[in-house]
Amino acid sequence: MKLDQFKNQTFAKNLVVNWESMKRTEKDGIEIYEIEVKEKNPTIIKSNLFQSKLKYELISIKKENQSYSYLIEIYSGLKYSLYVNSIQEIGSFTGTLNVYELSGKQIDQLVVNNGKSINPSGNKALIPLNEVVGLFYLENKKTSRVPECYLSEHIYVTYSIYTDHYYYISVGNSTEKTYSYTTITTYTVDEPMSVPCGESESSYETYKYVTIRQEIVENVSVSIENNIDDTQLDPCLKEIMEQLKNATNADIANVMTKLGAKNDYIVTMKMGTMQKPGNYAETIKVSKNNYLVTVTQNDFTTASKLYKATALLHETIHAFMLSVVDDYNTYPTNAPFTDFPELFNIYVNKTNSTTNSNYAQHEDMANKYVNAIASALEQYQLNDTGIPSSVSDKQVFLDMAWSGLQGTDVYNKKCQEGIIDNTRITARIGAEINGVYSQGQYAVGKQCN
C-alpha cells in the first residue's frame, strides 16, 4: 500500500499503516489478513447515528488463488460496540464499512446490521469482502430479527489542513532547516453514505472533521530573489544586485532568511529622484506587501560599489520589515513607514510577539542584522575584487553593516558603552561615499566604471 500514490492525498496524509499488527485468519478455505491503520490526527465525528471515533483497517483476502485487498474506514453505530479491528468480532457490529481500493479510490460501502452485511450498491468489487464478513455472522443470530435494510444519507466532511512552511539556509558549511510560518486551508465536501436503518431517529446528521498537519520545505532562496525586480536599475547597480543574489552562502536570500523573511512580498528597484534631499536610496510602500526602492540617479557619483551594495542590502531589508508592519491590524501613526529606527523597533516587537521588547531582544536582532549584512558584504567584495579579506577588512564590513542601524536605540547604547565606534563608522561611510578618503579611513570598495 503506497499512501503517497493515493488520489485523495488529504485523506492519505493522515494515515499510518502499522505493519507489525498483521493478523492471519483462515476460515472455509479463505485466508484473511488484517492490518491496523491509525490516524496521525484523530478524525472527529459528530453524529446522531455513529460514534465519535473512526477505525481503519487493511484487509487482504485470498480465495482460490485470487487476492483482493481493501482499505476500510469503519463507522461504528452509536448504540453498538466500537469495532475492535478484528473481522472475527464482526458478529456484534453495526455500522458502515466505507471501502477503498489500495490506490485510494473509493469503491462504495457495506452496511452491517448486527453482523449481517449487505452490499447496497451491488458493486462487484465488494462481493469478496461482503462474503468474508458473512462468514463471521453469528449462527445464533441467524434466526433473530435483523433488519436487512439501509438508508441513503450524506456526511459532511470538513478538512482543515495546517501546512508548516520551512526553508533551508546555509551557514558556513552547514545547512539548517528553519521554520517560517503556517498556513491553514479549510474546505467542506458532501459525500453520499449508505447507513444502517432500524434506528428511532426520524433523520440523521453526520459531520466529519479531519485535521491534517503537513510541512513544505520551500526554496526560499529562489522565491525571495525572484521577487526582487532590479531591471530598472542602472547597469552598475544591476551588476551589484546580480553578485549579491549569486554569492555563495551569503547571498540576499540567506541574509533575508536569517532575519525570518518569507517569500510573499515584492520589491521593485528603480532609478529616480529622492523625496528627501541627501538620501542615496528610499523605500516606500506601494500596496500591501508590495514595495518600491528608489535609488538616486544624479548624486553619489563617486560612491564605491561597496557603499552601493550596502545600501541595496539595507533597502531590501527595509522592505521586508515594512511587510512585517503590514501584518499589524492597526498602527497609531505613519512613523514606521517613514522612520527606520521606529520601523526596527516595531519589527523587534513583532518577532518577539510583544508590544514592548527589551534591550536584549533589540540587541539580538541588531546582531543578526549586522552579521548577516557583514557576511554578505565580505562575500561581495571577494567576488568583486578577487582579494580575500584581511582582519582590518572584516571591521570595514561590520562598520558598513552597523551604519544601517544608526539612530536606533541599540546603536546609540552600544556607542555610549564604547562597543561600537560611531566616529569610525561615520568616517568609513564618508570614505566609501567619496570613493577615496575620510577622517583617517580609506575607501576599500571600487567605483563603478
Looking at the DSSP bridge assignments, the partners of residue 32 are: 25, 61
| The residue type at 80 | Y
H helices present in 404-449, as ranges: 409-416, 422-434
Among residues 255, 265, 257, 256, the alpha carbon closest in space to that of 227 is found at 265
pLDDT at 140: 46
pLDDT by 10s per residue, the chain, length 449: 556 666 666 777 788 888 889 999 999 999 999 999 999 889 999 998 899 999 999 999 999 889 999 999 999 998 888 888 888 888 778 999 999 998 888 899 999 988 889 999 999 999 999 999 988 886 545 444 555 678 888 899 999 999 887 876 554 455 667 777 788 999 999 999 998 886 555 678 899 999 888 888 765 555 677 789 999 999 999 999 999 988 765 567 777 766 766 656 889 999 999 998 899 999 998 888 889 999 998 889 999 999 999 999 999 999 888 887 765 544 445 555 667 888 898 888 887 878 888 999 999 989 989 998 999 999 999 988 888 888 778 999 999 999 999 999 999 999 999 999 999 999 999 999 999 999 999 999 999 98
pLDDT at 353: 78
Q: Which class for 201: exposed (0-12), middle (13-18), buried (19 or more C-beta within 10 A)?
A: exposed
pLDDT at 148: 65
Number of C-beta neighbours around residue 377 at 10 A: 27
Burial 321-345 (b: 16+ CB within 10 A, else e): bbbbbbeeeeeeeeebeeebbbbbb
| Secondary element (H or E) of residue 260 | none
Number of C-beta neighbours around residue 219 at 10 A: 12
pLDDT at 232: 97
